[in-house]
Structure 1
Amino acid sequence: MRPEALNFIVCPNCAGELSLRSDASRASEDGHIMTGTLACRGCPLQFSIRNGVPILLPANLASVKLETASRFAEEWTPWSDPRDYYEQEFFDCVAPLAAGDFANQIVFEGGCGKGRHTAIVASHGAKAIVALDLGESAFVAFAHTRQFPNAHVVIGHLLNPPGRPVFDLAFSVGVLHHLSDPAAGFASLASRVREGGRVAFWVYDQEGDEWITRYVDPVRKAITSRLSASFLRIASIPPAAALWAVIKLFYRPRMVKAPRDFLTAIISLRFITTRSMRFTPTFSINS
């Protein structure tokens, strides 16, 4: 983390100010403090900095939420390399916001995964972006964004966001529908935005993607979320291959006339990304 992050982050338990303790490592050549401890000035709690990322988890965080985050991290870590189509995909999700809407803004991201959207926002001139994720995928996000002086990655929980209410804009792409209480997640993230600021959220919709919530979700909750990630990674290959074939052979010729739904959204994805990002998380996350 860079010391400038202290202008935006707070204790997740009491919202008190945080300060670096004397055990913090010297800043690296690119300005990051890689290890150390943050102490809250409002309560006795302390939080570690590990591999450049402050870990600001609330004291009452349930173990099931950490397990869910771990499942997501298992996907972001093996398939962590950025792709050239991410930028267009991101701006499609947050439309009508465009690149210029992020310039000179203080931005909060709820659920950053491997940091693909964090890097996009940072590269488009945000004054600062604080990117939050619950799992160890935050370390991947840090590696992808550490070259940006305006990017700050934090491990924390979206329902107890360790941020000051000073942000001009907050966004979350593909995260809220995985929470046990999506409405609470919406309100929590929006609470970090100053009066007059803006928020943008992207979630699964009922119109194009109803088949996911109607047919896939029951199987996920009852069966596949209880299986090991290593088994699911292998088991997801046949259904991903079937979907890939349907998309390329039958759906792609109709994409100009097709509605903007799940299938049109993944037409441009490579097979390995389709399998990793669509099937394995869908079947393994028990939110």
Structure 2
Amino acid sequence: MLPTLLTDALRCPHCVRALDVTEAEVRCPVCNGAWPIQDGLPRFVHDQHLASFGRQWNRYEVAHDDEDRATFAAKTGVPLSDLRGLKVLDAGCGGGRYSKVCAQAGATVIGADHSSAVEKARSLCAGLDAAFLQADLKALPLAPQSFDLVFSIGVMHHDADTRMVFDSVASMVKPGGRYAVWLYRRNQSWQERLNTWLRSKTTRMPPDNLERWCVWGARLGGLPVVNRTLNKVINFSAHPNFENRVCDTFDWWAPEYQHHHTVAELLHWFEVAGFTDLQVLPPERTGPIYRRIYENNLLIGSGVNVLGVRR
């Protein structure tokens, strides 16, 4: 059976009624919609255009506890000490790195992802107060306004309509609750044109072929002189760990959709959705040269990042 944490939270994505749960499926008693439970996880969707994420998160071991805690704090603006006792939604949980961070800090966590990465997330968070489901973030089968903290790190821009995902996930935040979102930053026009052209090639590659190119990118990413210059033009990861570099590079070039946004755009979405006390969160890295490149929108793969509180 599914964890009580999840069965209590599940709602029909069509009529928002509580769902009946059996060993094989979840079913709406009102509109009679039904969705399978496979390998102990409710599946409201298939991987579809996000299959590359299921592949990468189930294939690579990229969780690093200290790094993940620091990244979570930086990209949500929420100290780990604030998490105990909170009900948290990880919207686009991937392999579950940040769900694990929250659960270890004392939160009760539900992680949702459109891809089969939820299998890895469940494994990573085994024994913690965390539960997972495979679902479309635009139609989450969860009770609205029921979470103290909702966050989404590097996910929404991989849908056909980032704004639609943002608004849907925002509806999960209870009054007084916090909402943190990190999206890819829009770079200079020449970088955007180059990235779009290259991705028009890479997104059509068979995954095994693309992965071989990403291995070469990961090797380049380990060369200090190269990763401080070339990867500001063509994105490949410079993470200290080789496996992370392969995964991160694949993450950039494989997905069908990849939209880039501005701080002003994201702030506007928060305001229209009814959030106040907005904070534009700074990048994790510091240093005057890095900040200058970042603030001039020259850093490929960097983000726009905002935290708000629901009225």
Q: Gaps (5+ residues) in structure 1?
A: 25-35, 58-62, 255-260
CA contact (8 A) 1:47 1:54 kept: yes
SS at match of 1:230: helix
CA contact (8 A) 1:80 1:114 kept: no
User: Partners of 2:170 and 2:64 in 1: how far apart?
Assistant: 29
- Alpha-carbon offset, residue 92 of structure 1: 1.7
- Alpha-carbon offset, residue 164 of structure 1: 0.5
Pick closer, same or farther for the CA change 1:106–1:280 going to 2, 3 Å.
Answer: same
- 1:212-256 CA distance string (max 9 Å, x none): 644223321x211111101111122223322331xx24767x9xx
User: Partners of 1:13 and 1:213 in 2: how far apart?
Assistant: 37
Report the counterpart of residue 156 of structure 1 in structure 2.
135
SS at match of 2:253: helix
Report the counterpart of residue 210 of structure 2 in structure 1.
232
SS at match of 1:13: coil
The counterpart of 1:280, out of the listed 240, 246, 250, is 250
Whether 2:43 is the aligned partner of 1:10: answer no
Whether 2:96 is the aligned partner of 1:115: answer yes
SS at match of 2:218: helix
- Alpha-carbon offset, residue 52 of structure 1: 1.9
Report the counterpart of residue 185 of structure 1 in structure 2.
165
Pick closer, same or farther for the CA change 1:38–1:179 going to 2, 3 Å.
Answer: same
CA contact (8 A) 2:57 2:94 kept: yes
Pick closer, same or farther for the CA change 1:69–1:251 going to 2, 3 Å.
Answer: closer
The counterpart of 2:59, out of the listed 70, 74, 78, is 78
User: Partners of 1:4 and 1:262 in 2: how far apart?
Assistant: 45
Alignment of 1:94-105 (within 5 A): 94-95=76-77, 97-105=78-86
Whether 2:205 is the aligned partner of 1:269: answer no
User: Partners of 2:79 and 2:238 in 1: how far apart?
Assistant: 22
CA contact (8 A) 1:48 1:54 kept: yes
Query: What amino acid does structure 2 have at the position aligned with 1:130?
Result: I
User: Partners of 1:147 and 1:168 in 2: how far apart?
Assistant: 22
Query: What amino acid does structure 1 have at the position aligned with 2:175?
Result: E
Please provide the CA RMSD for this pair: 2.6
Q: Gaps (5+ residues) in structure 2?
A: 258-311
CA contact (8 A) 2:214 2:246 kept: yes
Report the counterpart of residue 90 of structure 1 in structure 2.
72
**TM norm structure 1:** 0.79
Aligned pair count reads: 251
The share of aligned pairs that are identical, in percent, is: 24
Pick closer, same or farther for the CA change 1:47–1:67 going to 2, 3 Å.
Answer: closer
User: Partners of 2:44 and 2:250 in 1: how far apart?
Assistant: 28
- Alpha-carbon offset, residue 100 of structure 1: 2.2
Pick closer, same or farther for the CA change 1:241–1:251 going to 2, 3 Å.
Answer: closer
- 1:164-213 CA distance string (max 9 Å, x none): 02111100001012121111111111101112211001112236x87764
- 1:91-140 CA distance string (max 9 Å, x none): 22112x111232211111110111111111011111x2110001111111
Pick closer, same or farther for the CA change 1:212–1:117 going to 2, 3 Å.
Answer: farther
Report the counterpart of residue 87 of structure 2 in structure 1.
106
